[in-house]
Amino acid sequence: MTPEPKAETEHELVLTRLLDAPRDKLFRCWTDAELLPKWFVPAPWTIAKAEVDPRPGGRSFIVMRDPDGNEYPNEGVYLEIVKNEKIVFTDAYTEGWVPSQKPFFTGIITFADEDGRTRYTARARHWREEDKQNHEKMGFHEGWGICADQLEALAKTLQLS
């Protein structure tokens, strides 16, 4: 397993993996509402609903469901999209740049070619140290690691578009 890179900011959690799938397929898994439910949460959790408009200012609305059927809506917007390279999103705003009730983090996902595979890096930048610690206690590294494995497996099955 690749060692985790250092955080670039004070309240950041980072996960990186070398995935055996091309960047374009990984990017597609992140930006296609039909593919997101197949990998985005660690089983036995599921995605009850996924709506994405992957463009700066576009809405992201994902409802996670735990094994007991409880649902957790997550609404936000995309801040930056660089096709096959970078996705930046935040829950600090909802659609139309309306501030959210309690911003938790900004996610920065990058995809880079490396030795015939893709260096996948996920950064979660939190507003407060307490939020970072809570995210870590919720199992950031384990959960996001499982999701990265699921992402890789799904991307490997996709046909080139």
Q: Mind listing the domains of the chain with CATH numbers?
A: 12-157 (3.30.530.20)
Other beta carbons within 10 Å of 50: 19
Indicate the pTM of the whole model: 0.91
pLDDT tens digit sequence for 92-139:
999 889 999 989 999 999 999 999 999 999 999 999 999 999 999 999
The answer on pLDDT for 146 being more than 70 is yes
Of 109, 125, 106, 90, nearest to 12 by C-alpha is: 125
Kindly tell me the sign of the dihedral angle through the C-alpha atoms of 45, 46, 51, 56: positive
- 14's CB contacts (< 8 A; 6+ apart) are 4, 5, 6, 7, 121, 122, 123, 124
pLDDT tens digit sequence for 11-29:
999 999 999 999 999 999 9
Kindly tell me the sign of the dihedral angle through the C-alpha atoms of 153, 159, 160, 161: negative
